[in-house]
Amino acid sequence: MKILLLEDDLMLSELIKEHLSEKGYEVIHFLNGEEAFEYLYEKRVDLILLDIKVPGISGFELLKKLRENKDTTPAIMITSANSSKDVKEGFELGCDDYIKKPFEFEELDARVEHILKLFNINNGLIDFKILKFDHKRHLLIFEDKEISLTPKASEILHYLYKNRGKIVTKEELIQNIWNYDGTPSEATIRSYIKMLRKYIPFIKTYRGTGYELEPL
């Protein structure tokens, strides 16, 4: 699961990032609200942890912009202990939960796990509704049946998932998936997409441009 952390306290943010990484989460950290919003405008994450008072735009402003853009990514607000007014405003803007400073990591874990259950997000397993995807083991799991993917097919599907709702060009796939493994032909990429679409029908083709995994 991919988490975006917006927190301008360097020491606290490093502790949170280290703790969540040890739990197996991928954590992207920003100190500035404007930079976090720019990232979220282009990329998708599974959960947002946001402090309210940060440089650039505030956590409130970021959340408001996201919800105005129809972005429903779950969000947990980090707020100070004496800020009941902030909690009320956060929920009105579309926040899903909150945690008050100072907090123990056990409470943070409980809040994150609550969001996982509430939004049916599986850490390690990506839920495609009709089946699940285990990126680390290159497997699609349909009921009790496991379907093996080649490493490249698995990487393509995972990259499309991380950028779901966005058109990914063929050039972008080549740059991020193949790196130094040589440049594949367009026919090779098409064959991977065709094979994946047999199991994941939510992949759209934009002729001459690229591919998009529809938001789930």
Query: What average pLDDT does the chain have?
Result: 89
Residue 181 structure tokens: 């493994």
The C-alpha atoms of residue 8 and residue 30 are separated, in whole angstroms, by: 7
| Shared-domain flag, residues 75 and 172 | no
| Distant-in-sequence, close-in-space partners of 121: CB < 8 Å, separation ≥ 6 | 1, 46, 47, 74, 115, 127
| Shared-domain flag, residues 101 and 9 | yes
Instruction: Give the pLDDT mean for 76-101.
Output: 87
| Distant-in-sequence, close-in-space partners of 189: CB < 8 Å, separation ≥ 6 | 156, 170, 173, 174
Distance of CA 119 to CAs 96, 154, 167, 186, 195, Å? 10, 24, 24, 36, 28
| Shared-domain flag, residues 112 and 9 | yes
Whether this model's pTM surpasses 0.85: no
| Shared-domain flag, residues 35 and 101 | yes
How many domains, the chain? 2
Indicate if the pLDDT at residue 98 is higher than 70: yes
Predicted local distance difference test score (pLDDT) of residue 175: 87
What single-letter amino acid sits at 124? G
Q: What CATH code is carried by the domain that includes residue 143?
A: 1.10.10.10
In the sheet that 168-169 helps form, which strands lie side by side, from edge to edge? 168-169, 210-213, 203-206
| Shared-domain flag, residues 140 and 98 | no
The residue among 94, 118, 142 that closes a domain is 118
| Shared-domain flag, residues 95 and 136 | no
Indicate if the pLDDT at residue 13 is higher than 90: yes
Instruction: Give the pLDDT mean for 35-50.
Output: 90
What single-letter amino acid sits at 78? I
The residue among 72, 93, 118 that closes a domain is 118
Residue 82 structure tokens: 């004496």
Indicate if the pLDDT at residue 1 is higher than 80: no
Q: Return the number of other C-beta atoms located less than 10 Å from residue 197's C-beta.
A: 14
Name which of 32-41, 95-104, 129-138, 188-197 the model is least confident about.
129-138
| Shared-domain flag, residues 16 and 114 | yes
| Shared-domain flag, residues 140 and 39 | no
The C-alpha atoms of residue 98 and residue 182 are separated, in whole angstroms, by: 47
119 against 191, higher pLDDT: 191
Q: Return the number of other C-beta atoms located less than 10 Å from residue 112's C-beta.
A: 22
Distance of CA 203 to CAs 45, 166, 168, 216, Å? 18, 11, 11, 11
Indicate if the pLDDT at residue 158 is higher than 70: yes
Instruction: Give the pLDDT mean for 40-66.
Output: 91
For residue 23, the enclosing domain spans 2-118
Predicted local distance difference test score (pLDDT) of residue 150: 93
Distance of CA 175 to CAs 90, 114, 138, 207, Å? 39, 36, 20, 19
Q: Among residues of the chain, what percentage have pLDDT more than 90?
A: 56
151 against 44, higher pLDDT: 151
| Shared-domain flag, residues 68 and 12 | yes
| Shared-domain flag, residues 42 and 105 | yes
Q: What CATH code is carried by the domain that includes residue 69?
A: 3.40.50.2300
Note whether 63 and 91 are within 8 A (CB). no
Instruction: Give the pLDDT mean for 71-94.
Output: 86
Instruction: Give the pLDDT mean for 99-111.
Output: 93
| Shared-domain flag, residues 140 and 176 | yes
When pLDDT is cut at 50, 70 and 90, the band that residue 106 belongs to is: very high
Residue 120 structure tokens: 């049916």
Predicted local distance difference test score (pLDDT) of residue 170: 92
Indicate if the pLDDT at residue 123 is higher than 70: no
The residue among 87, 118, 149 that closes a domain is 118
When pLDDT is cut at 50, 70 and 90, the band that residue 51 belongs to is: very high
| Shared-domain flag, residues 34 and 54 | yes
Indicate if the pLDDT at residue 124 is higher than 70: no
